[in-house]
Amino acid sequence: MNIGVLALQGAFIEHEKMLRSLGVTVTQVRLPEHLTDLDGLIIPGGESTTIGKLAVQYGLIEPLRDFAQRKATWGTCAGMIFLAKDIGHDRQPLLGVMDLTVNRNAFGRQIDSFERAIPIKGLVGDPFPAVFIRAPIATQAGVGVEILAQLAADQIIAARQGHLLATAFHPELTHDSRLHQYFYDIVDQTR
Ligand code: GLN
């Protein structure tokens, strides 16, 4: 199993460490050719505008879109924004593959970072320690999207659409590897 982590900007090292602890071979993706032979891909948190700009510069937009249309891809935080079909404007490059309407920086400045234990569908055991950092929220999801966790009806924070996974928070910044294991299982089932 070989999983790539988009390594343009943001928290990619932490994802890499988490995947390695599960025995996965990890490839840092900076160029289109790095996607060859990958079974899955993680798009990390960071700054979605920066990730988008760099992806344009490196000729990665089309290759990433093509990959995400076919193979297991998980976006965390900025990565969730980057996967979404709709963020209310078109001023930044997106892959636009996942049927979510996403609001960037949905929690505003007052509570721009916080941690909360949240039950996530599909995970066994305790609620998941979700770390939110200037996090987005999905306000709407298409019919093909399974909602895995939400704070309120219009506050979706984890969702799955077939081989696509999105979380508004940062599982790689915790010691809880259950979501990485969950993604591993998606990769395994869809490769
Ligand atoms: N606020 C960032 C954005 O809009 C996302 C923050 C994060 O990834 N932790 O891209």
What residues are in contact with ligand 1 under a 6 Å CB criterion? 45-48, 77-78, 81, 104-105, 133-134
User: What burial letters (b/e) apply to 36-70, b meaning 16+ CB within 10 Å?
Assistant: eebbbbbbbbbbbbebbebbeebebbebbbebbee
The predicted pLDDT at position 179 comes to 98
Show the domains of the chain with their CATH numbers.
2-190 (3.40.50.880)
Question: Per-residue pLDDT tens for 21-64?
Answer: 999 999 999 999 999 999 999 999 999 999 999 999 999 999 99
Yes or no: say if 186 and 72 are a contact pair by the CB < 8 Å rule.
Answer: yes
Binned at pLDDT 50, 70 and 90, residue 125 comes out as very high
C-alpha 156/C-alpha 179 separation (Å) is 16
> What residue owns the CA closest to ligand 1's atom 2?
47
The predicted pLDDT at position 101 comes to 98
Alpha-helix runs per DSSP H in 25-156: 48-57, 61-70, 78-83
Q: State in Å: Cα 105 to ligand 1 middle.
A: 7
Whether the pLDDT of residue 111 is over 90: the answer is: no
pTM value is 0.98
> What residue owns the CA closest to ligand 1's atom 5?
78
Query: Average pLDDT, stretch 80-94?
Result: 97
